[in-house]
Homo-oligomer: A and B are copies of this chain.
Amino acid sequence: MPRAVREQQMLDAAVRTFGQRGYRAASMDEIAELAGVSKPLVYLYLNSKEDLFTACIRREAKALTTAVRAGVDPELPADRQLWEGLRAFFTHTAQNPDAWAVLHLQARTHGEPFAAEVAAMREEMVAFVTGLILVAARDARRDPSLPEREVAGLAEALVGAAEALAAWANATPGITARQAAATLMNFAWSGLGDLMEGRPWAPPSEEV
Contact with B along A158-197 (1 / 0, CB 8 A): 1111111101110010010001100110111111111111
Q: A180-B153, A184-B157, A187-B188 are in contact. Are A196 and B163 (CB under 8 A)?
A: no
Cβ-defined contact, B146 with A195, below 8 A: yes
Question: Is A136 a contact of B188 with CB atoms below 8 Å?
Answer: no
Nearest CB in chain B: distance from A188 CB, A? 6
Alpha-carbon separation in the docked complex, A166 to B161 (Å): 13
Say whether chain A's binding surface is mostly helix, strand, loop, or mixed.
Answer: helix
A3 in the interface, Cβ–Cβ < 8 Å?
A: no
Which chain B positions have C-beta within 8 A of A197?
140
Number of copies of chain A assembled together: 2
Question: Is A205 interfacial (CB 8 A cutoff)?
Answer: no
Interface size class of A (residues with CB under 8 A): 35 or more
Instruction: Tell me, yes or no, whether A39 is within 8 Å of chain B by CB.
Output: no
Q: A133-B192, A160-B163, A193-B201 are in contact. List 15 more A-B contacts (CB 8 A).
A: A139-B196, A142-B196, A149-B175, A150-B183, A152-B172, A153-B165, A153-B168, A153-B179, A153-B180, A157-B164, A157-B183, A157-B187, A158-B161, A160-B161, A191-B201
CB within 8 Å of B: which residues of A? 22, 24, 78-79, 82, 108-112, 115, 133, 136-137, 139-140, 142, 145-146, 149-150, 152-154, 156-165, 167-169, 172, 175, 179-180, 183-184, 186-198, 201
